[in-house]
Chains A and B, each alone.
Chain A
């Protein structure tokens, strides 16, 4: 990838390869080079199993490369560097909604009152205010993901990482959450890396899209999304949007494995 010299770089992924060892070795990533710019909403698309989640998890330090390195610039010492929103199973059933979100501030040095205030602020913003003492059991899937997002954002991480956060939701909920995310995150200049297999989602939310090939994953293209912010969900119906979706689909198809 060619770096844009004018933009401040937040993270560099340099020559990263990953091989999973097992009965047969599975190469997940093959010499991936990429850059995450400061303040951009970067989406990563690719066929399932292409290693996009692996790449994201490396940014969170949950996994290490087999070769190469990931370098992230840490600007502040009182904010977490990264926070992840997982697809599933990340909201603990044994804690109330409030406590789940407050866990995002577990390592913070804020006073108890300040923490509570920030948790409430995020619960309100995610429309969860009325549910702060509810247990996750009582919540719908969409609300659970809102809890997960609030927990990731409550500590104001330098990079927000999202691993197909809406994949398990039904289409309507998914759309609603995309729209909410657009408002809360997309239009505020946060640095976000968002993995998805939905091209529509990638375009609607992203400033830039990295397209990955089938396993072993490589970056085959980096596509800038030309639509200005703040964006409206109506964007989906514009001809430019459809054209871009078509273009991405062509790139994906050209690099897909033949065993679909």
Chain B
């Protein structure tokens, strides 16, 4: 359709353009099922193929096994670390720090962001300050919190919380200010109380963006916690990776890296599922795309 062909000569004989159903239009259900099956196969097969290639390359001596040990030996080492309890312990510590920091930072950031979105003086007062602080690398303030809070878990929590705060803050500020004027006017016209306006209109209106922010915050929190554990911790998965590298135990290092990857994947997945449940009216991007 809508094609002006390159040739500028008129066609001698009129051509029939036929628009008829493709297979996919005749039986869209079957097509949909086929696409889903294809997606699953691709999602599972791609990592497997890549891992297999790595394995073969390592065994065939194409890549240096000191830096890239074959996946099978990483798996064996990983299993040993699970059995002797090192990996589960480290993972639990990391998850605890991460979740406390994430929840605290996210809640405070959400409240501050929405408040600033709603109240002009607050926005005027804090926007430049927070925007400035936003760009300060969170790891750069770690020494300060170590001075204040000691060497244990608290400074690690604070760094994750600060990182999570800023993402929630900026997301919710934008979301609150972006709520369609018509929604607010309707609420006003229906004479909803402040509380009703917040619960029935504002919160649902910003919910889709909240989850987008949360998804970003989760990934960011994993980055931060691993970074913090690298530099200052004797426990947690980041520390396990760092110490393994120092003693050149590459298999162990990789086992830790895989663990971090899985952690990020699972947490992000949980947020996606939560979003789908909490925002049934949400945009298509929240639902699973083909």
Q: Judging by beta carbons under 8 Å apart, are B18 and A155 in contact?
A: no
Secondary structure call for the B interface: loop
| Chain A residues positioned under 8 Å from B25 (CB to CB) | 64-66
Within 8 A of A (CB), among B11-26: 11, 14-22, 25-26
A24 at the interface (CB under 8 A from B): no
Q: Judging by beta carbons under 8 Å apart, are B7 and A71 in contact?
A: no
Q: Judging by beta carbons under 8 Å apart, are A73 and B14 in contact?
A: yes
Q: Judging by beta carbons under 8 Å apart, are A81 and B17 in contact?
A: yes
Residue of A whose beta carbon sits closest to that of B2: A80
In the bound complex, CA of A72 to CA of B1 (Å):
10
Q: Judging by beta carbons under 8 Å apart, are B21 and A67 in contact?
A: yes
Among B15, B19, B21, the residue within 8 A (CB) of A61 is B19
Among B4, B7, B11, B18, the residue within 8 A (CB) of A108 is B4
| Chain A residues positioned under 8 Å from B17 (CB to CB) | 71-74, 81
B3 at the interface (CB under 8 A from A): yes
Shortest beta-carbon distance, A103 to chain B, in Å? Answer: 11
Shortest beta-carbon distance, A87 to chain B, in Å? Answer: 18
Among A21, A64, A75, A107, the residue within 8 A (CB) of B19 is A64
Q: Judging by beta carbons under 8 Å apart, are B1 and A60 in contact?
A: yes
Residue of B whose beta carbon sits closest to that of A157: B2
Shortest beta-carbon distance, B124 to chain A, in Å? Answer: 27
In the bound complex, CA of A175 to CA of B54 (Å):
69
Size range of the interface on B? 20 to 34
A58 at the interface (CB under 8 A from B): yes
Q: Judging by beta carbons under 8 Å apart, are A77 and B16 in contact?
A: no
Among B2, B8, B9, B32, the residue within 8 A (CB) of A81 is B2
Q: In the complex where A21-B29, A107-B4, A109-B4 touch, is A77 in contact with B21 (Cβ < 8 A)?
A: no
A226 at the interface (CB under 8 A from B): no
B246 at the interface (CB under 8 A from A): no
**How would residues 72 to 91 of chain A score, 1 for a CB under 8 Å from any chain B CB and 0 otherwise?**
11111111111100000000
Among A64, A75, A78, the residue within 8 A (CB) of B5 is A78
| Chain B residues positioned under 8 Å from A189 (CB to CB) | none
Shortest beta-carbon distance, A151 to chain B, in Å? Answer: 12
Q: In the complex where A76-B11, A77-B10 touch, is A65 in contact with B5 (Cβ < 8 A)?
A: no
Q: Judging by beta carbons under 8 Å apart, are B19 and A77 in contact?
A: no
In the bound complex, CA of A21 to CA of B21 (Å):
14
Residue of A whose beta carbon sits closest to that of B32: A21
A70 at the interface (CB under 8 A from B): yes
A-B contact pairs, 12 of them (CB 8 A): A61-B19, A64-B25, A65-B19, A66-B28, A67-B21, A70-B19, A70-B20, A71-B18, A73-B17, A76-B11, A77-B4, A78-B8
Interface residues of B (CB under 8 A from A): 1-11, 14-22, 25-26, 28-29, 32
Given contacts A71-B18, A74-B17, 12 further A-B contacts (CB under 8 A): A58-B19, A61-B1, A65-B25, A73-B14, A73-B17, A74-B15, A75-B10, A75-B11, A79-B4, A82-B2, A107-B2, A109-B6
